[in-house]
Amino acid sequence: MRLPERVLSTVMPPIDALNNRMAELAAEGQDVISLGQSVPFFGPPVEMIAAVSEALSLDPRIHSYGPDAGIPELRQALAEKLKRHNGVDADPATQIMVTPGSNQAFMVAMLTLLEPGDEVAIAAPYYFNHHMAIELCGGRVVEAPTSEEDGFQLHLSDVEAATTDRTRAIVITSPNNPTGAVYDRAEVERIARFAADRRIQLVSDEAYEFFGYDGVSTFSPGSIPDLGDTVITLGSLSKTFGMTGWRIGYMVAGEEFCRQALKVQDATAICAPIISQIGAVVALGVIDAFTEGHLAELEARRDLLERTLTSIPSLDWTKTNGALFAFVKAAPTASGRELAWEVLDRTNMLMVPGSAFGDAWRNFVRISYGSSTRDRFEEALNRLAVYFNGSGGAGVR
Amino acid sequence: MRLPERVLSTVMPPIDALNNRMAELAAEGQDVISLGQSVPFFGPPVEMIAAVSEALSLDPRIHSYGPDAGIPELRQALAEKLKRHNGVDADPATQIMVTPGSNQAFMVAMLTLLEPGDEVAIAAPYYFNHHMAIELCGGRVVEAPTSEEDGFQLHLSDVEAATTDRTRAIVITSPNNPTGAVYDRAEVERIARFAADRRIQLVSDEAYEFFGYDGVSTFSPGSIPDLGDTVITLGSLSKTFGMTGWRIGYMVAGEEFCRQALKVQDATAICAPIISQIGAVVALGVIDAFTEGHLAELEARRDLLERTLTSIPSLDWTKTNGALFAFVKAAPTASGRELAWEVLDRTNMLMVPGSAFGDAWRNFVRISYGSSTRDRFEEALNRLAVYFNGSGGAGVR
The 10s digit of each residue's pLDDT in B4-46 is 999 999 999 888 788 889 989 999 999 999 999 888 999 999 9
- Topology of domain A61-287 in CATH is Aspartate Aminotransferase; domain 2 (3.40.640)
Per-residue pLDDT at A396:
40
The one-letter amino acid at A245: G
Question: Cα–Cα distances in Å, from A31 out to A28, A91, A377, B281?
Answer: 9, 49, 13, 29
When mean pLDDT is compared over B277-281, B336-340, B373-377, the highest value belongs to: B277-281
DSSP letter (8 states) at residue A100: S
Question: Cα–Cα distances in Å, from A88 out to A83, A202, A221, A395?
Answer: 5, 14, 8, 43
Instruction: Give the chain B residue nearest A229 (alpha carbons).
Output: B1
Per-residue pLDDT at A15:
82
The correct answer on CATH 3.90.1150.10 for the domain covering B5-44+290-387 is yes
CB B364 within 8 A of CB B330: yes
**pLDDT tens profile A148-180:** 999 999 999 999 999 999 999 999 999 999 999
Residue B8: list chain A partners with CB under 8 A: 260
**pLDDT tens profile A165-224:** 999 999 999 999 999 999 999 999 999 999 999 999 999 999 999 999 999 999 999 999
Instruction: Suggest the residue from B63, B104, B239 to mutate for an interface test with chain A (most A CBs closer than 10 A).
Output: B63
Residue A385: pLDDT band (50, 70, 90) is: very high
Residue A25: pLDDT band (50, 70, 90) is: very high
Distance from CA of B103 to the nearest CA of A (A): 6
Distance from CA of A107 to the nearest CA of B (A): 6
R_g over Cα of chain B: 21
Residue B370: list chain A partners with CB under 8 A: none
Q: What is residue A52's three-state secondary structure?
A: helix
Residue A201: list chain B partners with CB under 8 A: 1
Interface contact A263-B12, CB threshold 8 A: yes
Q: What is residue B203's three-state secondary structure?
A: strand
**pLDDT tens profile B324-334:** 999 999 987 78
Interface contact B1-A256, CB threshold 8 A: yes
DSSP letter (8 states) at residue B85: I
Contacts A–B by Cβ distance under 8 A: 204
Q: Which range is least confidently modeled, A79-83, A340-344, B171-175, B392-396? A: B392-396
Paired with B201 in beta bridges are B169
- The percentage of residues in chain A with a pLDDT greater than 90, rounded to a whole number, is 90
Question: What is chain B's mean pLDDT, rounded?
Answer: 95
Which of A3, A60, A243 is the closest to B43 by Cβ? A60
Per-residue pLDDT at A392:
54
Pairing label, strands A352-353, A364-368: antiparallel
Interface contact B132-A2, CB threshold 8 A: no
The one-letter amino acid at A161: A
Per-residue pLDDT at B76:
98
* Beta-carbon contacts of residue A241 (< 8 Å; ≥ 6 apart): A44, A45, A48, A280, A283, A290
- Topology of domain B57-287 in CATH is Aspartate Aminotransferase; domain 2 (3.40.640)
pLDDT for B392 beyond 70: no
- Topology of domain A5-44+293-387 in CATH is Aspartate Aminotransferase, domain 1 (3.90.1150)
Per-residue pLDDT at A302:
97
Distance from CA of B266 to the nearest CA of A (A): 7
pLDDT for B62 beyond 90: yes
Distance CA B72, CA B90 (A): 13
Per-residue pLDDT at A38:
86
DSSP labels, A245-257:
GG--EEEE--HHH
Distance CA B357, CA B178 (A): 7
Instruction: Suggest the residue from B111, B134, B259 to mutate for an interface test with chain A (most A CBs closer than 10 A).
Output: B111
Per-residue pLDDT at A154:
98
Which of B37, B56, B256 is the closest to A53 by Cβ? B56
Per-residue pLDDT at B184:
97
Q: What is residue B388's three-state secondary structure?
A: helix
Distance CA B146, CA B340 (A): 23
Per-residue pLDDT at A394:
46
Residue A391: pLDDT band (50, 70, 90) is: low
CB B247 within 8 A of CB B86: no
Instruction: Give the chain B residue nearest A273 (alpha carbons).
Output: B246
Interface contact B273-A276, CB threshold 8 A: yes
**Nearest 10 degrees: Cα torsion B135, B137, B139, B145:** -50
Distance from CA of B129 to the nearest CA of A (A): 5
Per-residue pLDDT at B210:
95
Residue B64: list chain A partners with CB under 8 A: 39, 244-245
Distance from CA of A311 to the nearest CA of B (A): 32
Distance from CA of A24 to the nearest CA of B (A): 14
0.90 surpassed by pTM: yes
Q: What is residue B369's three-state secondary structure?
A: coil
- Which residue intervals of chain A are DSSP H helices? 5-8, 15-27, 46-58, 72-81, 102-113, 128-136, 156-161, 185-197, 255-266, 274-285, 287-310, 336-347, 374-389
Instruction: Give the chain B residue nearest A57 (alpha carbons).
Output: B49
DSSP run (H or E) holding B78 = helix B72-81
Distance CA B17, CA B15 (A): 6
Interface contact B257-A3, CB threshold 8 A: yes
Instruction: Give the chain B residue nearest A256 (alpha carbons).
Output: B1
Which of B43, B107, B256 is the closest to A63 by Cβ? B43
Residue A395: pLDDT band (50, 70, 90) is: very low
Per-residue pLDDT at B395:
42
**A5-44+293-387 and A61-287, same CATH topology:** no
Per-residue pLDDT at B391:
64
Per-residue pLDDT at B393:
47
CB B362 within 8 A of CB B372: no
pLDDT for A393 beyond 60: no
Residue A273: list chain B partners with CB under 8 A: 100, 245-247, 273, 275-276
Interface contact A1-B61, CB threshold 8 A: no
Distance from CA of A137 to the nearest CA of B (A): 8
Per-residue pLDDT at B2:
86
Tell which wins on pLDDT, A332 or B296: B296
Distance from CA of A300 to the nearest CA of B (A): 23
Interface contact B104-A16, CB threshold 8 A: no
Distance from CA of B307 to the nearest CA of A (A): 29
Per-residue pLDDT at A397:
37
Residue B107: list chain A partners with CB under 8 A: 267-268
Interface contact B263-A12, CB threshold 8 A: yes
Q: Rounded mean pLDDT of A265-278?
A: 98
Which of A63, A100, A264 is the closest to B100 by Cβ? A100
Instruction: Give the chain A residue nearest B132 (alpha carbons).
Output: A267
Residue A264: list chain B partners with CB under 8 A: 7, 136
Interface contact B66-A267, CB threshold 8 A: no
Which of A43, A103, A115 is the closest to B270 by Cβ? A103
Domain boundaries along the sequence of chain A? 5-44+293-387, 61-287
Residue B61: list chain A partners with CB under 8 A: 245
Residue A49: list chain B partners with CB under 8 A: 56-57
Instruction: Give the chain A residue nearest B248 (alpha carbons).
Output: A273
Q: Rounded mean pLDDT of A103-108?
A: 98
Distance from CA of B341 to the nearest CA of A (A): 19
